[in-house]
Amino acid sequence: MLLYLLNRKYSFTSHVKEMLTISLSYLMSFSVQASDIVITSRGAIDDGITYNTKIIQQAIDEISFQGGGRVIIPKGKFLTAPLYLKSNVELHLMKDAVLLASSLRKDYGDEFPISLLKAKNLTNVQITGSGTIDGNGRALMKDIFKNLEAGLITDPEWKTKRPTEKNRGHLLWMHNCNTVKVSGVTFKDATSWVLKLQSSSKMIFDSIRVESVAYWNNDGIDLDNCVDVKVLNSFFNTADDAVCLKSESRNGICENILVENCVLRSSANAFKMGTASHGGFKNITVRNIQVYDTYRSAIALEAVDGGIIDNIDISKVYAKNTGNAIFIKLGKRNQDDVYSTISNIRIRDVKVEVPGGKPDKGYETEGPLLKYPPSYIVPENKVFSISPSNHSTKETNVILYPHNVFPSSITGLPGHPVKNVHLENIEIIYEGDAKKMRTHIPIDSLHIITEAADRYPEFSMFGELPAWGMFLRHVDGINMKNITLKYVKQDYRIPMILDDVHNANFQILKIPTLSQPPAVWLRKSTDVTIKKLNTTYPLKDAIRKLDQ
């Protein structure tokens, strides 16, 4: 009928013709079913100024009450305060649709956690389409600080670090939900973790885009004690960890997770397990990942709160301009007697290029420079080891921590080793160019290098190291096959150090840029076999052992 009317020679006004054309385009691009509710049909206004919260919430409630269907956000910018999703409801954002979060802190109330979209104890929830969910983060942070300065809201950390999650919000928060699909949508500029999923199962995130650099602490997606989850074909550009698995309670676990075909950029870590690691992580698969301009690690596996990491399979990772390749850490921040465990890790087909400068330099929100701990007095003319601070603070008397490029590391604790690690087809290219004048830990000082057992885990947590390629400590059972470590500019340090490492098997270890032996330094390590070592020096000169 619309085509018929438009083609007839009736004298429509330009406004009517425009409305008919828009309606025709809408109907041709998307089939509206009888059970759907298009929010503009209920009076929603797309000017980005008028609140549509009540209209959208009523549509969600109505669709849920009638047994299921879609709430459709059409083209336009629709302002809203927080919304509560419901079971059997699909929130569909059409092309050029924007669901715009309120920029006023008062609209989020005191209910914790703060989030634009909330879902709790639900089944069959979907967020689909090709539109954008915009957290309006820059404007919201301005209002948060305005309220804090006026004393209208309180926060324990805002003057020394940043406002806590008590005042900052997610774009999507789910707790104890089952059967979830999120596809096609762009999530933009949250003031905290963008997607926070807790104790939920059977979730698929496919072809989503996360662009969130408006403020620090913007993890792209956090899966906390979630089971049976797929994150596929997606793009993340975040000011904090891009894809992060967490386990914030002992009675849960992240299990059966697949992350595949994703592009990650972060001012922290690209793919990370931890830091919260109370329950743990099991049966995790990561493959076909590209990482770029990332400040910290391409791959970070951390168990420091009494949880487990078991049966992890990571493959086909390419990272360029990234601060660290592989970081695996077993620590102990928890105060009880339980120790974390890390075992059965397989990482293969990985290439990482580590620069000398700051990989995220120039981004709107950069990762913080390393500093000595507050009030720490730096000893003069003495070799010492300290775990530097890697968090942003507003203290003015903190001294920057000088350092050379950090190596990859796999480390446990005395008596609690990382177990059964397999690395294959790994190439790490470092900038090199280490200078003793920056800082220097001699190789005979391995025994003083801090364990940093209770510190926040990060690849820089041991401070300066005498290795430039790989640092292994407290490991039992490691197999390496076809490993290449090289630098662009000469590095005086040792390529690989094994300290308290047992049952190690190396097949084809390539260190082509070795300027002087040794290539591998062993300390208190047993049953170490190196079948083929490709360096510019004979095998007898390239390996050195020190038992003290």
38, 80, 37: which is closest to 62 by C-alpha? 37
Q: Residue 374 phi/psi, 5° resolution?
A: -55, 135
Bridge partners, 127 (sequence order): 91, 182
428, 424, 422, 409: which is closest to 504 by C-alpha? 422
Q: How far is Cα 286 from Cα 521, in angstroms, rounded to an integer? A: 31
pLDDT of residue 395: 67
Q: Give, for all 548 residues of the chain, the pLDDT tens digit.
A: 333 333 333 333 333 333 334 343 444 345 777 689 999 999 999 999 999 999 999 999 999 999 999 999 999 999 999 999 999 999 999 999 999 999 999 999 999 999 999 999 999 999 999 999 999 999 999 999 999 999 999 999 998 889 999 999 999 999 999 999 999 999 999 999 999 999 999 999 999 999 999 998 999 999 999 999 999 999 999 999 999 999 999 999 999 999 999 999 999 999 999 999 999 999 999 999 999 999 999 999 999 999 999 999 999 999 999 999 999 999 999 999 999 999 999 999 999 999 999 999 999 999 999 999 887 888 887 888 999 988 776 766 778 999 999 999 999 999 999 999 999 999 999 999 999 988 899 999 999 999 999 999 999 999 999 999 999 999 999 999 999 999 999 999 999 999 999 999 999 999 999 888 899 999 999 999 999 998 888 877 888 887 65
Asked whether the beta carbons of 62 and 43 are under 8 A apart, the reply is no
Q: How far is Cα 323 from Cα 353, in angstroms, rounded to an integer? A: 8
pLDDT of residue 466: 96
Asked whether the beta carbons of 326 and 319 are under 8 A apart, the reply is no
Q: What is the 3-state secondary structure (H, E, C) of 321-356?
A: EEEEEEEEEECCCCCCCCCCEEEEEEEEEEEEEECC
CB burial class (10 A; 0-12, 13-18, 19+) of residue 43? exposed
Q: How far is Cα 21 from Cα 546, in angstroms, rounded to an integer? A: 80
Q: Please state, in angstroms and as integers, the Cα–Cα distance from residue 100 to each residue in 43, 113, 145, following that order.
A: 17, 19, 20
pLDDT of residue 16: 33
In this structure, which amino acid lies at residue 105?
A: R
Reported as type and span, the H/E element at residue 29 is helix 14-29
Reported as type and span, the H/E element at residue 129 is strand 123-129
Total residues found in the chain within this entry:
548
Q: Please state, in angstroms and as integers, the Cα–Cα distance from residue 504 to each residue in 230, 410, 427, following that order.
A: 34, 13, 19
Structure tokens at 94: 């059409």
Asked whether the beta carbons of 85 and 124 are under 8 A apart, the reply is no
Q: How far is Cα 58 from Cα 147, in angstroms, rounded to an integer? A: 30
Instruction: Supply angle C-alpha 205, 174, 132, rounded to 5.
Output: 55
Q: Residues with Cβ < 8 Å from 246, sequence gap 6 or more? A: 222, 223, 224, 225, 254, 274, 275, 276, 277
Q: How far is Cα 542 from Cα 514, in angstroms, rounded to an integer? A: 9
Asked whether the beta carbons of 103 and 189 are under 8 A apart, the reply is no
Residue ranges of domains in the chain? 286-548
Instruction: Supply angle C-alpha 196, 365, 197, rounded to 5.
Output: 5
pLDDT of residue 415: 98
Q: Is the pTM of this model over 0.75?
A: yes
